[in-house]
Every structure is written in C-alpha cells, then in structure tokens.
Amino acid sequence: MALDQYFKITERGSSVKVEILGGLTTFLTMAYIIVVNPAILAFAGFPPGPTTVATILASVFGCLLMGLYANRPIAVAPYMGENAFIAFGLAAMGIGWQQRLGAVFWSGIGFLGLSLFKLRPWLANSISPSLKHSFAAGIGLFLTFIGLYQVGIVTSAAAGMPVEALQVHGSNLLGAPPVPLKIGDWHDPKVLLAIFGFIVTCALLNQRVRGAILIGIASTAAIGILLGYGAAPTGIFAMPFTGEYSLEPIFLKLDIMSALHVSFFPILVTLFLMSFLDTLATLIGVGAAGNMLDENGNFEDVEKPMIVDAVSCVASSLIGTSTSGAFIESAAGIREGARTGLASVITAALFFGSLFCLPLITPFQKLSYAYAPALMAVGVLMLGSLKKIEMDDLTEAVPAISTICLMIFSYNTANGLTAGLVLYVIMKIACGRWKELNSGSYVLAAMCMVYFLFGLPH
C-alpha cells in the first residue's frame, strides 16, 4: 500500500502496528518536555501559557518533518540543556527573551548552512570524543544542579543569614561565604516530595517503564496536591490559541538584528555547538539502538536528520521557544521496533492532541517539587558520558574535566564549552602533540577565544 511504500516499512523489517507502538512509546518518554520546558523558560521572562503552546507546536513541526522528510523514527522537541542555557546561562547578561530567541534563530541558520554544505564531518572530526562526552556530562550535571537548587535540596550559603553577617567592613555589599552552597531545609515537605519524586523516577527508569519521567512528575504532583502543596487542574480540555494559551505574545517576537551584535557572537557559537553536538550524539545513540549505523559507525544519510534539526531550530525561534533537536528518548520507541518515519508522525499527532489538554498540563509547571526531579533524572542519565572520557591521557582529560567544572562552578555552560575547546588545542601543543590537531580544531579554538576576549563571559 502507499503508506508502506512511502515509509519503506516492510523494506526496513517493520509493520504499521509496530510503528504506531514505537511512536506512542517515544511520546510517553518525552512528554515531560511540555511541562518542564516552559517552567525553565519562565525564569527568562517567557510567558508560561504561550510558551507551552510553542513547545508543543515546535515538537509537532519537528516530528512531522523528521518523519515525512528524513523518514526516521526520531522525535524532535525543544532540547534540555539548551533551554537551561537560554534561561540561566544568559541571566547575568541582562538581555530580554526576544534577543535570546534571535540568538536561537541565527544559530539555527548556521547549523542549516553546515548541513547543506556538508561540512559536518570536518567539524565533527575536529572535536575529540572525550570533549564531546564532557559536553554531554557537563550539561547533565548542570541540569541536575538546577533541579537541586530550584526545589531547595541545596541552597545558597547566604540564605537565612542575618544582614549583619553579610556585610563587609560595615558596607552594604554582600560578603562571599567561604562555602557558596549548603544543604537546604530538608524538613520542608516540598523538599521531601522532590526527593521522593527523584527516587521514584529513577526506579522507573531503571525498570525501563514507558513514560517513567512523566509518571514521576504526575505521581509526585498528585501527592503534593493532596497534601495541600499546590492546586489541582481546574479542567481537562480547552481550545488552544485563545486567552492565556494565545501564541500572540511570543509568535514572531524574536529580535533578530540585536543578536547580530558582536557581543552575541560567543552566544551564537555556544548555541550552535551545543545543538550540533547534541544532534550528533543523539543520532549516533539512536542509530546504534536501531541498527542505522554503517560499518564505520556513521549514521546513514545523516544530512537529512541534520537538516531537520536545523530547520526545527529556526522554526522554534519563530514560534517562540528554545532550540529544538533530536531527542535521545527516541531510543525507547526504537527499542519497541520502530524503524521508519511513521513512528515520528504518530509522535507528532500525539503532541498535537495534547494542545487540547492544556488545563490538565499547565498547573504542573508551578510545582517545582514535581518537575525538578525530572531535571535531576535527565541529568543523571547524561552523566553516563563520563565513563567515555579518556582519563589516562591528560591532553584529553584536562580539557574535558575543565569543561565540566567550569560549566557547573561558573553556572554557565558557555564558559565550560568554550574553555574546553581552547584548552584542548593548548594542551596538545604544550605536550608536543600538535599533529593530532586539524584545521577545524584551530578554527573552533579561535572562535571560542572571541568569547573571552570580546564577549561577555560571566
């Protein structure tokens, strides 16, 4: 039949039933993004209602494009990590969300150019495997820390101290506590709820339960609401694009021209590299799970999924949300047997259906004790990349560990990512191993030096 011929279902050893099951499984494993992404972006001033709609629309668009154009069972949605960079990593720069969306737009344009001109292999080979894994681990630890801090499991050392104790020589300047963080108030029921949610989520993930993260969010929120720590949803269904769910406040409100200022260049480089590396790692990961890699370990016909990610990134900025790209959770659907783009189309349809259930979804965004455990759990999963760092070679380990440390201890992923790429070149040259570098390594290092020399590192 036409469906079979278009998606090559039989040719890839699958069936319509298996593809539907795969698409449903993928949706359940990543539907948490509908709750978590707007909650994170709210810290950057994005209005939650419109951003929830934008998150869903970006997911629908990306999944459809991946299914119909690239014909791969890989779902696309706003990235975890990139949304944290947009919300928290750029906080100290004092720029509005419109300018942040402009940066997302241009990083997507750059990624699209890279894909169209097939420069991916050159750039990918310029970054060592250890550095790639350090980026993933650093972002994972950053997400974990955000979750811990938001819900109060850890808090600032200055929290609760009298004003007199924070004064320096009688001035009104806050002193720098010798220990910047301390344990939070573990007698707070909401902190205990978050710890419970984290344990439940991780246990479900370990058992490979479909929708583990979503179940963790929902169960923790339900218990919290029953105990009086939040309001239950007031309804289930509502028409999208109206009232508080109108897209008008953020649709096409990005500031493209301001993002071309020289001070934004390091931000563009960071977003570009984060998106590129996330996509590359995801494609390799899900490709291995679905036997989609060739004999050399490369993803077959990789340019199409890359183009989908780039176009989705640009579309996300126009709609009003952060960088979109391929989700590693797609591996869950692939493990169920999905092998074609029909699974992605099914995932898109389910995301679209959620547009009409926003009253049921949006109350969870106000319950940090329910969604913070999801950040922590996703972060823990990403930390698996640590074991792939070549620790016995200091020219690899020093840049990789420095990347992770600077991401966390400076509370900015851009600091770590750019420093790691620069330090990698310096370490190779200092140890007399400059022949291991290629032209792309020098280009990336030079680009990242712009961040420290002319940008606004913080």
Asked if residue 247 is part of any domain, the answer here is yes
Cα→Cα distances 24→53, 133, 211, 267, 451, Å: 20, 29, 10, 35, 42
What is the domain range of residue 289? 2-152+188-453
Tens-digit pLDDT profile for residues 399-414 = 999 989 988 887 776 6
pLDDT above 70 for 233:
yes
Residue 198 falls within a domain, yes or no? Answer: yes
Q: How far is residue 273's CA from residue 313's CA, in Å, rounded to a whole number?
A: 13
In a domain, 9, yes or no: yes
**DSSP-assigned states of every residue in 257-277:** TGGGSGGGHHHHHHHHHHHHH
At 345, is the pLDDT very low, low, confident or very high (cuts 50, 70, 90)?
very high
Q: Is 337 in contact with 22 (CB distance < 8 Å)?
A: yes
How much is the pTM?
A: 0.75
Q: How far apart are the first and last CA of the chain?
A: 57
Number of independent structural domains in the chain: 1
pLDDT at 289: 62
Whether 248 maps to a domain, the answer reads yes
Average pLDDT for 8-26:
85
Please report whether residue 23 resides in a domain: yes
- 287-309 pLDDT, tens digit per residue, is 766 677 666 556 677 778 888 98
Q: Is 243 left (phi over 0), alpha (psi -120 to 50) or beta?
A: left
Give the C-alpha separation, 294 to 287, whole Å.
Answer: 9
Q: How many CA atoms lie within 13 A of 342 on its CB side?
A: 23
26-62 confidence digits (pLDDT tens): 887 788 888 888 988 888 888 888 999 999 999 999 9
Burial of 267-293, coded b for 16+ CB within 10 Å and e otherwise, reads: bbbbbbbbbbbbbbbbbbbbbebbebb
Does residue 178 fall inside a structural domain?
A: no
The answer to whether residue 43 sits within a structural domain is: yes
Higher pLDDT, 73 or 267: 73
70 close to 305: Cβ distance less than 8 angstroms: yes
Model pLDDT, residue 335 = 74
Quote the tokens at residue 74: 């890989």
Q: Are 65 and 76 in contact (CB under 8 A)?
A: yes
Instruction: Please tell me the predicted confidence (pLDDT) of residue 367.
Output: 84
- Residue 182 falls within a domain, yes or no? no
